[in-house]
Amino acid sequence: MAALIVGGDRVGPYKEFLAQQGFMPVRHWSGRNQSECHRSIPLDTRVVVVMVDQVNHGLARKIRRAADSMSVPIVFSKRSVCQLSSVLAGVAA
C-alpha cells in the first residue's frame, strides 16, 4: 500500500507515521514545481494526503479530481500528525 503526500517541505514525521500505519512507499510532491501539476498519481497509491496549508487551490483541485477518478481516498490535513491520524481513522472506518 503506497501513500502520496502533496504539499509541505518537511514531511519526515508524516512519512514515518504513514509507514507505521503500513503505507510503503510514501511518496512526496512538494507542490512547488510546475511539473508536479502535470504528474499522474502512481497506480499503486492507496491514499493521498494533501497538506492544505502548504498547497495551492488549483493543485488541490487537480489532485482531488485525479484521486476521485481512481477511487483513491483523499484526506486533507494541516501540519499536524495528530490531525493526520484522526482524518486517516475516518477513512479506515
Query: pTM score, two decimals?
Result: 0.89
* CATH number, residue 23: 3.40.50.10190
Q: Is the pLDDT of residue 93 over 60?
A: no
**Using one digit for the tens of pLDDT, what is the confidence trace for 8-67?**
888 899 999 999 999 999 999 987 777 667 889 999 999 999 988 778 888 889 999 999
| Model pLDDT, residue 92 | 64
Between 26 and 80, the more confident residue is: 26
In whole angstroms, give the CA distance from residue 22 to residue 60: 24
| Model pLDDT, residue 87 | 86
DSSP letters, 7-67, are S-S--HHHHHHHHHTT--SEEEE-S-SGGGGGPPPPTTEEEEEEEGGGS-HHHHHHHHHHH
Range of the domain at 60: 2-92
Number of domains in the chain: 1
